[in-house]
Amino acid sequence: MKRFLTIVVVLSTLAVTQTVKAWNNIGHATIAVIAERHMTEEAKEKCRHYLKHNLPYYSAWMDYWRNCPGFEHTTSWHSVPVDVNNKQIKGEINNAAYQINRICKRMRKYHKLKDSIVADNLKYLIHMVGDMHCPTHTKYSPDEPNLKQRSVKMNGKKLGFHSYWDASIGYYNKGMKCDHIAAKYDTLTEQQIAEICEGTPNDWALANAEQMREIYTLLPVHSEVTTLAEQNHKRMEEIVRVQALRGGYRLAKILNEIFSK
């Protein structure tokens, strides 16, 4: 009960103070730190060579640039649109999984690309691999109105369902810095990590689409977040943790593969 009350207080406080966008800054930075913890020395060194920074620095880069001239087309690259069978919409290039695949293919010959192009591709990957694992970044079909991202309430005030989940890592880890959250989350065994990293971005998108349907029942439309059942908060917190880990481990896998060649 004490823990639940803490969450309620945290939610109430952050509702006022936190700015939300995508997995917001702390979420993206946490995922990037998790990734760095699992990258090979070679991959880390290569990323630093091209980015001139560590991974977390550019983790929210796409969000800052999406509204700038020349970057408008990337604004729809943050999520994965799927049909009623959880399959990606065929031919839809405004899709994070599609763009990740495209960039991975291009990066197979990274050494033949200009340094600035490699750097930009890395910035996209760092962000999009994180974003495709954000619980609300599977865009379900309009044919499923119960999966529409409507608003909820926090202390009686309207709050976007999407915004709530984007900021959820911060909500469930009040006062913590991204690298401390990453250390707290990152406790899986090598075997568990290997299982998470199996498959391709398309497989991960499919699994996300199957599993993230749950969040719409855990946090129903118009519900009051601060008075939600403790068991719902516990489950939501677990989803957030697992999705952050998936994003981090899989990002590391992608970068390790790119730079092992």
Q: Which residues bind another protein (CB under 8 A)?
A: 25-26, 29-30, 33, 48, 52-54, 56-57, 60, 64-69, 170, 177-180
CB nearer to another protein: give 60 or 236. Answer: 60
Angle of CA points 113, 105, 134, to nearest 5°: 110
Closest CA relative to residue 154, chosen from 247, 85, 227, 206 = 227
CB nearer to another protein: give 33 or 206. Answer: 33
CB 19, min distance to another protein, A: 9
CB nearer to another protein: give 18 or 223. Answer: 18
Distances (CA, A) of 261 to 107, 121, 256, 257: 10, 17, 9, 7
Q: Are 258 and 110 in contact (CB under 8 A)?
A: yes
CB nearer to another protein: give 23 or 98. Answer: 23
Closest CA relative to residue 219, chosen from 210, 209, 231, 211 = 231
CB 184, min distance to another protein, A: 13
Place of tokens 């990337």: 74
CB 75, min distance to another protein, A: 10
Q: Are 247 and 34 in contact (CB under 8 A)?
A: yes
Spatial separation of the C-alpha atoms in residues 217 and 147, rounded to whole Å: 9
CB nearer to another protein: give 72 or 144. Answer: 72
CB 224, min distance to another protein, A: 27
CB 37, min distance to another protein, A: 12
